[in-house]
């Protein structure tokens, strides 16, 4: 390899151009009507009704943006379990996916690859929001087969590692994901290591291969995680901590979420299986439903107790845990010590009411048997289907559900750090908590309260 | 400044007080020995060289009384009745001498120093050469006395008798030097005058050689077997003709030269480490470890399969018998041909040792409200390491005539280490519901490391007429390091409490997650240096004295390659129980190599140095050496990282002009006062400028720093030397250094990277370092004492994090400056060796003690959380016993006290003791690590023919 020496002055530092000329790192290509393939540095608008192929890493440079109108499809065929590395969206500017309830957007693989068997192929890397990234906004968008493997090294990934669905690292980045679907992600779906976040009314299904969480937030991250429906997550649904070296404390309010069948795909014991707060983080954890998960809420004793408040969690566990280790419900508060003995008593209110069947509209809570997860445990598959995906199940509340009216809508004001976004004047009201526990309260839809995903007919074969 | 002055003064007082007995002892030693009645005593030396002669037989024939001269050449024959006598002095190779003396009535005694002349048996022309025997203790002292700058010399005579088997361990006996040890407790790097290893360099026969170190320039000194050495020279103040990149000092390993007379030395020994009386040595089968990774063998596009990763080499095997050491050494030399023009010396050394360590340590974090250390995990690690150290050295010199000599030497050093490690990690915070419960992780590792240094040097020395001289060297060297197929897997288990209060432990299962899986990793590097040196001397007679002018230069081109290829296996199917044999489990390949990792890089460096210097006398007693050196450095690199990684290609160029002034004032023949000033520098490490980026969940990210600058220093030295006897020595010195842009790896907030904290190599303003040294050697007949003491006080200021809860109730942090010593600097360092030598019985014994004061081992990002190594004292012993002439049996016992390596954080244990109070009983410190290495015993025989 040829190594060119620097000039003769006393200057130092990296400077010389690459002998193999790379494309100008500051040039960006505008997306036009002719554009069908996405790669390199691009900006502009992806037109409604069109399908684009992701054929290389797509980078949005600082002060540039890409907008997906409603009804746009982005597909990729890279990745694959043995094929190696996938392409990612590298965001140093802004990215907006503006799907609608009637005409959602899709980021997935091509139709012929889009099968249930290919759940672990990782055709797409993820959104990598680097230092300086401004907005990443995703509305009404289906996202599938994320978590492909990293090409080369970057600030956060070693070569060959699985890529998080959404990664951010700048405290000023705004990450807003609303009413969207996450399916077949091989690692953490959302991994903010800094940023202002609003993760509202989404559905997470079959997330994480052998590890991975719906939300895994680190230091420098503030915001809300509410009205999300999670089923079949490898480890936790939401997990927050404040490690990683950014100055702002991670304070995230996690409320009115429903977590079903979490934590069984993570082999290691004692790792968490529903909700977790640790390492200097804090926030309100209210009105959440934890149903047939491997563990209950875990508060590690390095959490900021003084800023952590837990209330009105509804736990339900049926059957026996891990080869006769005792009833599954013993893994929930107050039986199990996953909430430290020294956690202040007045910071935990009305938790775990009698292990009652939540009485969802269509879910057989007492039909749960951990033996059914044996296959998951041994092979890390997303089978059986009903334990990892919603399918024809319905997690709205029956009239007599013990979750109705059992929450607290007054205890706190959500940590609403984002109200509206700049030039597009997109408004993002943060919905208040609901008195009904879980993601599907019985009222308030008009005010953005409650998950709006009611029909689940989008699964591949 | 006042504050500093006060501090030092206070410390001086403290030290003075604590060393009062020592100081008294020093003065006693220096005072003239009282003459006792009816004894005859004196010194015996070579009349020409003045060198003391050891083992000379002295007889009073009439009385049949005799003595043998001791280590310092002294003799004494006691209780002689008054009268006239003849003293007969005889020594092989010297003319026997007879002296008359009279013992007076009523005391007084007799003092007679005797000079012996060489028995001149060689007829005809003798080739006059600058023959000097440099490997003796006497010549070591002489070199120190004569040198124009501040140096210390350890002779091979001394090394042979010392308990040390590697060069690293020898060097710790020199004043102002402490060691950084490797994972088996063996010395590896020198910290000189409180300056970390990065501020020093090492030479072989005066020539810099590349290091096999994976990241840095400094040479690991444990690769060199001590028995190849002729002598070790430690230079603490540089002269203009030396390469400029040392701030602490320079270690020069002088290998054996061809002797004037045929020589043969054979050394055979064996030994053991006492650790393996208590536990088994754990080895592994490395027969199917491939030196090259699957992608290195098959190309970057190759997709590795699980068959590429044999499991046999990962499985640990317990050895039931104690592993014994094997130590062999052979050196031979002779001169050949007409007028003995060709001299050849060859040496071979081979050491097989088995060592280990037992460690208890903690992973800890810093409490976000109080900034105090908190224990997260308690770990124990057990290592078994077998080391094979091989050195070959060949030197030939050819004396064309009296004015021209050519010499060639080649040496090859190889160190192979094979290591197994088992580590058990118990979580003290996570998944814990009370004492005795929680998560346990077990890490099982096998690893090999192979280091090579191969160096070739062709040298010439030429004289032109009376006044001109020229010498040159052409050097080709290589250093390589390979760490092939390091394999480590992790399994996890949980301890749970039963209803009846007892505990049960779940099965060990594999956890296939990103940073915790089963890794197989190949890494290594190779350096190739080509260098040329040229020096010209002119020694005219000016103003009635010989004046020396010297100019010269050097150029070195280095090409370096680093590789890093990492794979990860996962269990397939996922859920598998580990029952102690990894061969019972099945795996697939999850991460398929890392050819684009930034640690795959090529680097070149060109160094050009030129200098001019002069040496003259200003007054009769004042010797002046002064000069200038210019060095230009160009370093550039290309990494395989993708184009998006900034700094993957880069270069750095800088030059420096460095003035030197060395003054030596000769009070008299036995006393010198020296003062010197020089400027020097220290280069960036190779790895440090590569834009690497390491990420581990919830830890500080690590990043390289392509903008790192070299460090620059001004150095002042003062020394008073007194050589009361021929082997005796007393030196007091002081030094002061100011280092601009010192380089340390610490956690800083990188404003260019969204204000995040990164662990990164960084320049930290200006540091100062000052101290003083006392060096003492004193022999009295059969006994000797060698000791030194160094006081060092350095200061560097860097920014640290203080965490607290702010007024709004949020956890917050601020940056505060903290001033502390340089990493690795001990305030107090001491050495004390007691020597015994009995010529009559052929016994040599040495008890050597090293004291290393507390020093910072690791710098924390958080204020008041640095990890300090506790002060420790290590004791070693060696004994040589002559069996028959030429044959000596020896025993060397190292680490007699089984001194632990201990780290602590000098902070309140309030938070650290919360999880397990019994682990942290001390209120004012938090113990973070304790390693034991046990004792090493080596026995053997040495056979020499001269």
Within an 8 Å CB–CB cutoff, is residue A347 touching chain B?
A: no
Task: Report the CATH number that the domain containing residue B678 is assigned in CATH.
Answer: 2.40.170.20
What pLDDT is attached to residue B119?
A: 61
B775 within a domain of the structure (yes/no): yes
Residue with tokens 């992780």: B441
Residue B193 in 3-state DSSP?
coil
Cα R_g (chain A), whole angstroms: 22
- CA A433/CA A413 separation, integer angstroms: 8
How high is the pLDDT of residue B107? 63
Give the nearest partner residue to B642 out of A4, A151, A243, using CB atoms.
Answer: A151
The helix/strand/coil state of B688 is: helix
Would you give the end-to-end CA distance of chain A in angstroms?
Answer: 49
Which of A11, A14, A85 is the best mutation test for B, with the most CBs of B within 10 A?
A14
Instruction: Label residue A199 exposed, middle or buried (CB < 10 Å: 0-12, 13-18, 19+).
Output: buried
What is the three-class DSSP state of B945? strand
Dig out the tokens for B12 from the structure: 């001086």
Q: At which of B228, B245, B266 does a domain end?
A: B266
For B33-63, the pLDDT digits (tens) are 444 458 888 888 877 767 777 778 888 878 8
d(CA B371, CA B802): 6
At B702, list the tokens.
């690590």
Rounded Cα distance between A326 and A314, Å, is: 20
Same domain? B204 vs B300? no
Decide: residue A461, CB within 10 A, 0-12 exposed, 13-18 middle, 19+ buried. exposed
One domain, residues B162 and B189:
yes
Does the beta-carbon distance from A306 to B434 stay under 8 Å? no
Q: Which of A179-183, B285-289, B924-928 holds the top average pLDDT?
A: A179-183
Q: What is the pLDDT, as a whole number, of residue B56? A: 81
Chain A interface disruption, residue of B505, B563, B695, B812, most A CBs within 10 A: B695
What residue numbers bound the domain in which B185 lies?
137-266
A326 phi-psi bin (left φ>0, alpha ψ -120 to 50, beta other) = left
Q: Give yes or no for a cis peptide into A384 (omega within 30° of 0).
A: yes
Q: What is the CATH number of the domain that holds B43?
A: 2.60.40.1120
CA-nearest residue to B605 within chain A is A5
Same domain, B218 and B297: no
Of A1, A160, A172, the CB nearest to B592: A160
B3, part of any domain: no
Nearest Cα residue in chain B from A4: B636
* Predicted confidence (pLDDT) at residue B185 exceeds the cutoff of 90: no
User: Model confidence at A341, in pLDDT bands (50, 70, 90)?
Assistant: confident
DSSP B300-315: TT----GGGS-STTTS
Q: Enter the tokens of residue B398.
A: 């050819």
Q: Domain boundary at B223, B249, B266, which?
A: B266
Residues of B in contact with A347 (CB under 8 A): none
Domain identity same for B54 and B190: no
pLDDT above 60: residue B3: no
Q: Is residue B551 part of a domain?
A: yes
- Put simply, the chain A residues between 393 and 422 with a CB less than 8 A from any chain B CB are none
Question: DSSP states of A94-120 as a string?
Answer: EEEEE--SSS-EEEE--GGG--SGGGG
B149, B281: one domain = no
Same structural domain, B221 and B362: no
pLDDT at B64: 80
Chain A 45-74, CB below 8 Å of chain B: which residues? 57, 59
Distance from C-alpha of B389 to C-alpha of B352, rounded to nearest angstrom = 6
Which residues are CB-contacts of B113 (< 8 A; sequence separation ≥ 6)? B42, B43, B44, B45
ipTM topping 0.90: no
Given a contact cutoff of 8 angstroms between Cβ atoms, the answer to whether A140 and A180 are in contact is: yes
- Does residue B29 lie within any of the structural domains? no
Cβ–Cβ below 8 Å for B653 and A131: no
pLDDT at B758: 87
d(CA A201, CA A178): 6
Within a domain: residue B13?
no
φ/ψ (deg, to 5) at B895? 60, 50
Q: Which of B81, B116, B151 corresponds to the end of one domain?
A: B116
**B874 in a domain, yes or no?**
yes
pLDDT digits (tens, 9 = 90+) for A236-283: 999 999 988 898 999 999 999 999 999 888 877 767 789 999 999 999
A216-248 per-position pLDDT tens digit: 999 999 999 999 999 999 999 999 999 888 989
pLDDT score recorded for residue B18:
46
The answer on B819 and B752 residing in a single domain is yes
Tokens of A377: 């445990």
Instruction: Check whether residue B847 and residue B899 sit in a common domain.
Output: yes
Domain count, chain B: 3
Confidence of residue B131 (pLDDT cuts 50, 70, 90): very low
In a domain, B25, yes or no: no
pLDDT of residue A381: 80
Q: Which residues contact A138 (CB under 8 A, 6 or more apart)?
A: A97, A176, A177, A178, A180
Q: Is the pLDDT confidence value at B716 over 80?
A: yes
Q: Which residue of A has its CA nearest to B649?
A: A14
Q: Name the nearest CA neighbour of B351 among B289, B267, B279.
A: B267
Using DSSP, state whether B5 is helix, strand or coil: helix
**Other C-beta atoms lying within 10 Å of the C-beta of residue A243:** 20
Q: What radius of gyration, in Å, describes the C-alpha atoms of chain B?
A: 30
Are residues A149 and B643, on separate chains, in Cβ contact within 8 Å? no
Judged by CB atoms closer than 8 Å, whether chains meet at B590 and A160 is answered as yes
Q: List CB contacts (< 8 A) between B651 and chain A.
A: 3-6, 14-16
Domain CATH number, residue B216:
2.170.130.10
Specify whether B91 is located in the same domain as B192: no
Q: Which residue of B has its CA nearest to A242?
A: B698
What is the per-residue pLDDT across B728-775, written as a single tens digit (0 to 9) for each? 889 999 999 999 999 988 888 887 777 888 889 999 899 999 999 999
Question: What pLDDT score was predicted for residue B433?
Answer: 62
Q: Over the stretch B204-216, which tens digit does the pLDDT of each residue have?
A: 988 999 999 998 8
Best CA proximity match to B625, nearest among B252, B139, B147: B147
A441 pLDDT more than 50:
yes
Percent of chain B whose predicted confidence (pLDDT) is above 70? 92
Residue B8: pLDDT above 80?
A: no
Q: Which residues of B512-534 are buried (b: 16+ CB within 10 A; e: fewer)?
A: bbbebbbbbbbbbbbbbbebebb
Q: Which helix (H) or strand (E) holds A401?
A: none
Res A425: pLDDT = 60
Q: Decide if pLDDT at B75 tops 90.
A: no
Chain A residues with CB inside 8 Å of B700's CB? 244-245
Rounded CA-CA distance B243/B904 in Å is 37
Confidence of residue B665 (pLDDT cuts 50, 70, 90): very high
Q: Which of chain A's residues have a Cβ under 8 Å away from the Cβ of B509?
A: 267-269
Count helices and strands in chain A by DSSP H and E runs: 2, 34
Tokens of B60: 């009073």
**Contact predicate B660/B629, CB 8 Å:** yes
Give CA–CA dist B446/B285, Å, rounded: 9
Residues B464 and B504 grouped into a single domain: yes
Task: State the average pLDDT over residues A381-400.
Answer: 91
Question: pLDDT at residue B434 above 80?
Answer: no
Q: Which of A327-331, B130-134, B380-384, B569-573 has the lowest mean pLDDT?
A: B130-134
User: Measured on CA atoms in the order A427, A433, A435, A436, is the torsion positive or negative?
Assistant: positive
Task: Identify the band that residue B97 occupies on the pLDDT scale cut at 50, 70 and 90.
Answer: confident
Residue A64: enclosing H or E segment and its boundaries? none
pLDDT digits (tens, 9 = 90+) for A344-362: 989 988 877 678 999 999 9
Question: Residue B840: inside a domain, yes or no?
Answer: yes
At B376, the pLDDT band (50, 70, 90 cuts) reads confident
Same domain as B867, residue B780: yes
Query: Does residue B107 sit in the same domain as residue B201?
Result: no
């Amino acid at each position: 390899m040829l190594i060119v020496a620097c000039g003769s002055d006393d200057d130092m530092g990296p400077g010389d151009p690459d002998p193999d000329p790379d494309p100008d790192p500051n040039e960006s290509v505008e997306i036009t009507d002719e554009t069908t393939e996405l790669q390199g540095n691009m900006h502009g608008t992806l037109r409604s009704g069109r399908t684009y192929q992701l054929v290389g890493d797509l980078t949005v440079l600082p002060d540039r943006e890409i907008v997906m109108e409603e009804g746009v499809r982005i597909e990729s065929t890279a990745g694959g379990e043995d094929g190696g590395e996938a392409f990612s969206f590298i965001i140093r500017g802004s990215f907006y996916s503006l799907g609608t309830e009637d005409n959602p957007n899709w980021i997935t693989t091509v139709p012929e690859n889009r099968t249930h068997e290919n759940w672990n192929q990782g055709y797409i890397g993820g959104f990598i929001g680097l230092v300086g990234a401004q907005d990443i906004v995703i509305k009404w968008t289906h996202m599938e087969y994320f978590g492909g493997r990293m090409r080369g090294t970057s600030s956060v990934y070693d070569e060959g590692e699985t890529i998080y669905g959404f990664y951010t690292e700048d405290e000023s980045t705004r990450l807003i994901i609303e009413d969207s679907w996450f399916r077949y992600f091989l690692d953490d779906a959302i991994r903010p290591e800094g940023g202002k976040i609003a993760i509202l009314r989404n559905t997470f299904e079959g997330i994480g291969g052998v590890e991975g969480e719906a939300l895994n937030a680190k230091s420098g991250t503030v915001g809300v995680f509410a009205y999300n429906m999670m089923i079949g997550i490898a480890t936790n649904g939401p997990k927050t901590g404040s490690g990683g070296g950014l100055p702002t404390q991670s304070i995230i309010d996690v409320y009115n979420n429903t977590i079903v069948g979490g934590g069984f795909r993570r082999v290691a014991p004692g790792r968490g299986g529903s909700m977790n707060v640790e390492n200097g983080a804090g926030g309100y954890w209210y009105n959440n439903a934890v149903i047939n998960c491997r563990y209950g809420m875990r508060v590690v004793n390095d959490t900021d107790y003084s800023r952590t408040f837990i209330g009105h969690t509804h736990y339900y566990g049926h059957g026996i845990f891990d080869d006769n280790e005792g009833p599954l419900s013993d893994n929930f508060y107050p039986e199990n010590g996953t909430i430290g003995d020294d956690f202040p008593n007045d910071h935990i209110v009305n938790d775990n009411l009698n292990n009652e069947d939540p009485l969802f509209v269509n879910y057989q809570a007492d039909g749960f048997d951990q033996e059914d997860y044996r296959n998951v445990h041994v092979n890390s598959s997303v089978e059986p289907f009903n334990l990892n995906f919603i399918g024809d199940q319905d997690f709205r509340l029956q009239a007599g559900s013990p979750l109705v009216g059992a929450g607290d809508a007054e205890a706190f004001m959500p940590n609403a750090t984002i109200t509206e976004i700049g030039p597009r004047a997109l408004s993002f009201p943060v919905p208040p908590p609901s008195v009904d526990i879980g993601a599907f309260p019985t009222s308030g839809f008009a005010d953005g309260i409650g998950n709006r995903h009611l029909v689940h007919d989008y699964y591949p074969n | 400044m006042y504050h500093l002055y006060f501090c030092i003064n206070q410390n001086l007082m403290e030290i003075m007080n604590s060393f009062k007995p020592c100081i008294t002892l020093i003065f006693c030693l220096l005072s003239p020995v009282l003459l006792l009645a009816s004894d005859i005593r004196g010194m015996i030396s070579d009349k020409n060289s003045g060198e003391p002669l050891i083992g000379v037989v002295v007889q009073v024939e009439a009385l049949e009384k005799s003595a043998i001269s001791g280590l310092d050449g002294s003799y004494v024959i006691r209780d002689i009745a008054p009268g006239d006598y003849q003293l007969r002095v005889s020594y092989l190779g010297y003319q026997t001498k007879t002296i008359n003396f009279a013992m007076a009535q009523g005391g007084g005694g007799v003092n007679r120093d005797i000079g012996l002349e060489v028995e001149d048996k060689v007829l005809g022309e003798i080739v006059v050469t600058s023959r000097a025997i440099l490997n003796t203790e006497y010549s070591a002292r002489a070199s120190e006395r004569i040198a124009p700058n501040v140096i210390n010399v350890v002779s091979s005579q001394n090394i042979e008798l010392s308990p040390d088997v590697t060069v690293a361990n020898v060097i710790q006996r020199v004043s102002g030097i402490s060691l950084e040890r490797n994972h088996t407790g063996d010395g590896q790097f020198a910290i000189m005058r409180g300056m970390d290893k990065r501020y020093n360099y090492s030479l072989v026969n005066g020539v810099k050689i590349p290091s096999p170190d994976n990241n840095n320039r400094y040479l690991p000194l444990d690769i060199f077997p001590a028995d190849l050495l002729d002598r070790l020279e430690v230079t603490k103040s540089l002269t203009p003709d030396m390469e400029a990149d040392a701030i602490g000092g320079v270690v020069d390993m002088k290998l054996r030269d061809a002797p004037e007379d045929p020589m043969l030395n054979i050394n055979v020994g064996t030994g053991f480490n006492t650790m393996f009386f208590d536990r088994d040595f754990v080895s592994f089968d490395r027969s199917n470890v491939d030196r090259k990774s699957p992608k290195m063998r098959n190309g970057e596009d190759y997709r590795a399969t699980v068959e590429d990763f044999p499991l046999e080499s990962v499985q640990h095997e317990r050895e039931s018998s104690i592993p014994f050491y094997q130590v062999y050494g052979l050196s031979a030399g002779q001169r050949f041909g007409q007028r003995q023009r060709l001299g050849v010396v060859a040496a071979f050394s081979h050491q097989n040792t088995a060592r280990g360590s037992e460690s208890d340590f903690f992973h800890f974090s810093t409490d976000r409200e109080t900034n105090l250390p908190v224990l997260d995990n308690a770990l124990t690690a057990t290592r078994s390491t077998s080391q094979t150290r091989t050195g070959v050295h060949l030197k030939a010199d050819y004396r064309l005539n009296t004015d021209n000599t050519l010499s060639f030497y080649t040496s090859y050093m190889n160190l192979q280490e094979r290591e197994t490690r088992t580590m058990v990690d118990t979580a003290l915070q996570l998944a814990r519901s009370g004492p005795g419960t929680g998560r346990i992780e077990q890490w099982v590792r096998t690893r090999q490391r192979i280091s090579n240094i191969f160096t070739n040097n062709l040298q010439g020395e030429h004289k032109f007429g009376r006044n001109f001289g020229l010498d040159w060297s052409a050097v080709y060297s290589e250093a390589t390091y390979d760490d092939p197929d390091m394999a480590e897997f992790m399994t996890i288990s949980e301890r749970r409490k039963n209803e009846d209060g007892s505990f049960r432990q779940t099965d060990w299962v594999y956890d296939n997650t990103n940073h915790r899986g089963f890794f197989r990793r190949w890494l290594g590097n190779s350096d190739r240096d080509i260098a040329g040196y040229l020096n010209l001397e002119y020694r005219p007679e000016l103003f009635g004295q010989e004046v020396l002018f010297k100019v010269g230069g050097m150029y070195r081109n280095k090409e370096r390659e680093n590789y890093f290829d990492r794979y990860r296996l996962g269990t397939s199917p996922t859920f598998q129980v580990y029952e102690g044999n990894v061969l019972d489990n099945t795996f697939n390949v999850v991460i398929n190599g890392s050819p684009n990792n930034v640690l795959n890089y090529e680097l070149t460096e060109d160094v050009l140095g030129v200098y001019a210097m002069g040496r003259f006398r200003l007054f009769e007693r004042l010797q002046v050496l002064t000069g200038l050196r210019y060095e230009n450095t160009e370093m550039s690199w290309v990494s395989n990282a993708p184009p998006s990684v900034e700094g993957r290609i880069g270069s750095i160029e800088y030059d420096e002009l460095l003035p030197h002034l060395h003054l030596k004032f000769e009070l008299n023949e036995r006393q010198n006062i020296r003062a010197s000033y020089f400027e020097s520098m220290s280069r960036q490490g190779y790895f440090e400028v590569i834009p690497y980026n390491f990420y581990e969940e919830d830890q500080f990210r690590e990043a390289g720093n392509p903008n790192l600058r070299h460090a620059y220093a001004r150095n002042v030295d003062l020394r008073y030397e007194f050589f009361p006897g021929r082997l005796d020595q007393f030196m007091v010195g002081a030094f002061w250094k100011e280092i601009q842009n010192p380089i340390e790896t610490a956690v800083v907030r990188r404003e260019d990277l969204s204000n995040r904290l990164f662990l990164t190599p960084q320049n930290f303003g200006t540091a100062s370092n000052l101290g003083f040294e006392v060096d003492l050697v004193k022999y009295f007949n059969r006994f000797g004492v060698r000791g030194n003491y160094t006081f060092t006080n350095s200061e560097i200021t860097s920014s640290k994090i203080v965490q607290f809860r702010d007024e709004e109730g949020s956890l917050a942090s601020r940056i505060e400056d903290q001033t502390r010593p340089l990493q690795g600097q001990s305030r107090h360092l001491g050495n004390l060796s007691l020597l015994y030598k009995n010529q009559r019985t052929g016994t040599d014994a040495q008890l050597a003690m090293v004291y290393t004061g507390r020093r910072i081992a690791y710098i924390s990002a958080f204020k008041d959380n640095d990890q300090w190594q506790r002060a420790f004292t290590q004791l070693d012993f060696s004994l040589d016993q002559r069996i028959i002439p030429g044959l000596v049996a020896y025993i060397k016992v190292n680490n007699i006290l089984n001194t632990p390596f201990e780290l602590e954080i000098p902070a309140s244990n309030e938070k650290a003791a919360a999880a397990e109070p019994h682990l942290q009983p001390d209120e004012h410190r938090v113990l973070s690590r304790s390693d034991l290495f046990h004792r090493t015993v080596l026995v053997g025989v040495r056979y020499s023919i001269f």
